[in-house]
A and B are shown apart, each in its own frame.
Chain A
Amino acid sequence: MLINAVIIILREVLEASLILGVLLALSQHNQISKSWSLKALLLGGLAAVMYAANLAMISALHEGVGQEIVNAVLYVFIFTLILAIVYCLRDKQYLKLAAAAMFGCVVLAVLREGSEIIVYIHGFSTIPDLFTPVLVGSSIGAGIGLSIGVFVYYLIVSLPFIYGVISGFFVLVFIAGGMVSQAIQMLLQADLISSELPIWDTSQLVSEQSIVGQILFAMMGYEATPILLQVVLYTASILLTGFFAIGSIKRTQQGNLL
């Protein structure tokens, strides 16, 4: 039970932790006050508790697919906010907007991942024998996940300004693609997009269950058996975010920013 708890919580924490680490590093490089982060964690945590407490009711909405709809909307919002962040970091006058988008992005990421953690741990509160091992395992998983975020933060911060920004954007571009891919996955599960056969199957090459598969999923939304629409929108979202990122990097290099 303990190992299982470590893996489940690590998976949930990793995604939010990666986003937080990268955004804090980009704030540092652009001399944006990092005060947004604490507020975002608190508000996101509070929202996660509320979401978790009402999950059964939300799930029952829209003929039983309310959970999928809410999650899909959250993913699309996170994608849009990442897009806004990448765009706004091109010019000093937009830095306040960038900070606001970072705040929103972390609130939603914490809400999304945090609610699943709460539902998971809360379920064991009625099983006394398992509750302690689950709490211990969850703490270890959260610790590893947060450490990876801290590591990414220091890695990007240690780089010279322009390389720090480029690598931060690089991570964000793929996270953005992953968000769009996951949103589609949710709409498929809810039957709001009609399902079709996957266009390829790379599960023999990299299984989604493997450690590499899990890491690739957290970093870029890896999906072994995607459908055509998913591949098209994933590519489009990466190209769009990448286009904004290149524009911002060029503007930054021209000396518009500090």
Chain B
Amino acid sequence: MKKNSFSYTYLLGFLLVVLTGSAFATPVFNIEIRNHLFYPAELTIPVDTKVKLLINNTDTSAEEFESYELNREKVIPGKSTGVVFIGPLKKGVYPFFGEFFPKTAQGSIHVD
């Protein structure tokens, strides 16, 4: 019985380390869509690291975050925030655009 409770504590501790570890390991970057423009339009992220992009669409119209170089495509309805994971990536510049308003909604991820 004692041995059992010990292993549960151990398991709980292990899970806690894994969970918090994974939460900390994924850096979060914010991008805002306002008047069909990306803010910031250029974003620098670390090399060989997975990151989480939080894309907040403040417009009333939907937008599609799209990038051929990053292999990503996600519809973000108006007045909502979309989550997109990217990376780990090699050094370089990865353009992205808003498919619904491609003339204005342009940006790029710089991996450094």
* A→B interface (CB under 8 Å): 4, 8, 55-56, 59-60, 63-65, 67-68, 116, 119-120, 122-124, 126-127, 185, 188-191, 194-198, 203, 207-209, 223-225
Using Cβ atoms and an 8 Å threshold, which residues of chain B touch A197?
88, 90
- Report whether B84 and A189 are in contact in the complex, using a CB–CB cutoff of 8 Å: yes
B85 in the interface, Cβ–Cβ < 8 Å?
yes
Q: Which of A64, A197, A203 has the most B CB atoms < 10 Å from its CB?
A: A64
Cα distance, A185 to B100, chains bound together (Å): 21
Using Cβ atoms and an 8 Å threshold, which residues of chain A touch B90?
197
B50 in the interface, Cβ–Cβ < 8 Å?
yes
Cα distance, A95 to B105, chains bound together (Å): 49
- Report whether A4 and B102 are in contact in the complex, using a CB–CB cutoff of 8 Å: yes
Interface of A is mostly: helix
Using Cβ atoms and an 8 Å threshold, which residues of chain B touch A208?
68
23 contacts between A and B (CB under 8 A): A4-B102, A55-B75, A55-B77, A59-B82, A67-B75, A116-B64, A119-B62, A119-B77, A120-B64, A123-B62, A123-B78, A127-B61, A185-B71, A189-B72, A189-B85, A190-B85, A191-B26, A191-B50, A195-B85, A195-B86, A195-B87, A209-B68, A224-B68
Closest-CB distance, B34 to chain A (whole angstroms): 15
B42 in the interface, Cβ–Cβ < 8 Å?
no
Using Cβ atoms and an 8 Å threshold, which residues of chain B touch A60?
80
Cα distance, A195 to B99, chains bound together (Å): 23
Contacts A59-B82, A64-B83; is A203 near B75 (CB within 8 Å)? no
Instruction: Please provide the chain B residues from 28 to 52 with a CB less than 8 Å away from any CB of chain A in the complex.
Output: 50, 52
